[in-house]
Amino acid sequence: MGKVKLNVLGISYSQTQSGAYALVLAEEEGARRIPIIVGGFEAQAIAIELEGLNPPRPLTHDLFKKFSDSFGIRLIEVNIHKLEEGVFFANVLFDNGDKEISLDARTSDAIALALRFKCPIYTTEEIVEKAGIVLDFEQASGGEEDDGANDPAVSKEHDLGMRKPAQRADLSAHTVDELKAMLDKAIANENYETASEIRDEIRRRKKE
């Protein structure tokens, strides 16, 4: 069975499960998206790497990456190989220079590691067929607001920061310098959800 390469599109607050997040994967050569529900801690581990944040202390996945680098172990690829009763199963394939070893892993952990090792993520066509959805943004781009109704798990694909829409802080009144100071403070306090939101606001200002 052929492999389908996936890219991490982002993370959104889940509208179907309170306190959970939807990790969205996209097939590299296609329009289908796979939302995977993950917990807050798992989402945080993925989001801080996506946002390029540097925690003051290494998180578990960062420690594992440093450990692997120190002993010459590299992560070759991640394979999401099974979907059973709504649960995704993944394997991580490691190479220590002498042999390759495949280990079972939670999908959220596997993807958090894949981002840090910058290795490819694969799944099967069967899983994409079963769990993949196609989000219709043509209607939204035509002038109608996309409220996420087409996707029960993901609020908006273009708004994939780790935040609850109803709880976003009003950052518009702050200057860029103030935002940078707030970002440093949020990272120091390990408040990565707020840090992610501030980072997005700074990026929006730079594009203006």
More confident site: 91 or 180: 91
Q: Label residue 197 by pLDDT band (50, 70, 90).
A: confident
Q: Give the H or E element holding residue 22.
A: strand 21-27
Q: What pLDDT does residue 60 have?
A: 93
pLDDT tens for 139-187 read 333 433 333 333 333 333 333 444 443 344 578 888 888 888 888 777 7
Q: Label residue 191 by pLDDT band (50, 70, 90).
A: low
Could you tell me what percent of the chain has a pLDDT over 70? 76
Asked if residues 101 and 68 have their Cβ atoms less than 8 Å apart, the reply is: no
Q: What pLDDT does residue 15 have?
A: 62
List the domains of the chain with CATH numbers: 3-165 (3.10.690.10), 168-208 (no CATH)
pLDDT tens for 169-178 read 578 888 888 8
- Phi and psi angles of residue 146, each rounded to the nearest 5 degrees, phi first: -90, 110
Q: What pLDDT does residue 5 have?
A: 96
Tell me which residue of 156, 171, 162 sits closest to 205, measured CA to CA.
171
